């Protein structure tokens, strides 16, 4: 199942009555069936339920404006079950006080994100979630600081994932290092918070990004370039992984302050998307 095929099928699905179409099985192609776990034996009602539930689940991870546009486009929202796609676009436009052309662009953006989320690795089960993650990259010292504040979502949590996959780290407090994970000194109880920090060596870098696999409330990123700052620093806020190295992707331009630093803070991150910064070569 490729992203382009899934995007094309989603754009076909939004036409006409969307998910309320009478011959829905003819409009749910193989990529969408795979993404929504639709089997050959499923009847019309089950197909509609599975696709609606899966798209609603994925849309819940989108920003509010894109979520509303997506749920209207596919006629999932009960208030937006008009027989024509253009009527549903007008309904959404009235809700967000924008013109229909803007809403159509948001639908296209939402469909791209839905396809990306559907194809992303499944986030790990919700054994724990992140209250805050702090990364601080100091290029002058060739090191990066990583601090987690997590909460166990069930009893018996013994480890959690690191944000970065780097070798040679030193624990400052809170556990011991294993490949890509932190091993805790004792199991946590449900609802119990924990904090861990470590420092890792790193070489020359042109980016610092984080792709959450669990729910993350706050991601705080600092990059210290020093006296020789880069010619340009761009933010990556909910980008696709393919956008990280794509020169055509234009995130928000960041200003390096007088101390040679940039500081970003992201809230309510979407699992599977990319958050952080990238920069051009130094001057």
Across all residues in the chain, what is the average pLDDT?
Answer: 89
**How large is the average pLDDT for residues 220-232?**
89
Confidence of residue 168 (pLDDT cuts 50, 70, 90): confident
| Residue corresponding to tokens 């209207």 | 72
Residue 239 sits in the same domain as residue 269: yes
CATH code of 165's domain:
2.60.40
136 shares a domain with 74: no
Higher pLDDT, 161 or 149: 149
The total domain count for the chain is 2
pLDDT in tens, 68-113: 999 999 999 888 889 999 999 999 998 888 899 999 999 999 999 8
Domain's final residue, options 119, 136, 159: 119
Claim to verify: residue 157 and residue 217 sit in the same structural domain = yes
**Predicted confidence band of residue 179 (pLDDT cuts 50, 70, 90):** confident
Residue 252 scores a pLDDT above 80: yes
33, 115: one domain: yes
Both 72 and 29 in one domain: the answer is yes
pLDDT band at 277 (very low <50, low <70, confident <90, very high): very high
> 186 and 96 share a domain?
no
pTM of the entire structure? 0.63
Same domain, 148 and 73: no
Average pLDDT of the residues in 127-137 = 93
> Domain boundary residue among 57, 88, 119?
119
| Of 89, 119, 149, the domain-final residue | 119
Instruction: Indicate whether 114 and 132 sit together in one domain.
Output: no
Output helix, strand, coil percentages for the chain, rounded to the nearest 5.
Answer: 30, 30, 40
Residue with tokens 């796609």: 85
- Dihedral-angle region of residue 7 (phi above 0 means left; psi in -120 to 50 means alpha; beta otherwise): alpha
The reply to whether 57 and 151 lie within a common domain is: no
80 and 148 assigned to the same domain: no
Statement to judge: residues 112 and 143 lie in one domain: no
How many CB atoms neighbour CB 121 within 10 A? Answer: 9
User: What is the extent of the structural domain holding 244?
Assistant: 128-279
pLDDT for the residue numbered 22: 86
Residues 175 and 252 in one domain: yes
């Amino acid at each position: 199942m490729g992203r382009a095929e899934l995007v094309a099928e989603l754009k076909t699905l939004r036409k006409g009555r969307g998910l309320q179409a009478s011959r829905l099985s003819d409009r749910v192609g193989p990529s969408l069936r795979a993404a929504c776990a639709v089997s050959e034996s499923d009847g019309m009602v089950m197909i509609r339920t599975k696709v609606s539930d899966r798209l609603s689940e994925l849309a819940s991870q989108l920003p509010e404006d894109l979520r509303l546009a997506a749920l209207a486009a596919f006629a999932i929202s009960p208030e937006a079950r008009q027989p024509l796609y253009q009527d549903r676009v007008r309904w959404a436009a009235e809700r967000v006080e924008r013109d229909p052309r803007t809403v159509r662009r948001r639908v296209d953006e939402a469909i791209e994100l839905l396809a990306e989320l559907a194809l992303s690795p499944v986030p790990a089960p919700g054994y724990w979630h992140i209250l805050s993650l702090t990364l601080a990259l100091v290029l002058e010292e060739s090191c990066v600081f990583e601090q987690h504040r997590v909460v166990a979502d069930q009893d018996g949590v013994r480890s959690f994932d690191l944000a970065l996959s780097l070798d040679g780290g030193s624990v400052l407090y809170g556990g011991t290092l294993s490949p890509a994970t932190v091993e805790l000194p004792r199991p946590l109880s449900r609802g119990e918070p924990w904090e861990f920090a470590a420092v890792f060596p790193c070489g020359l870098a042109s980016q610092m990004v984080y792709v959450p696999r669990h729910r993350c409330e706050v991601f705080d990123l600092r990059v210290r370039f020093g006296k020789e700052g880069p010619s340009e620093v761009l933010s990556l806020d909910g980008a696709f992984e393919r956008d990280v190295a794509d020169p055509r992707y234009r995130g928000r331009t960041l200003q390096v302050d007088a101390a040679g630093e940039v500081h970003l803070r992201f809230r309510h991150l979407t699992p599977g998307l990319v958050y952080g910064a990238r920069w051009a070569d130094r001057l």
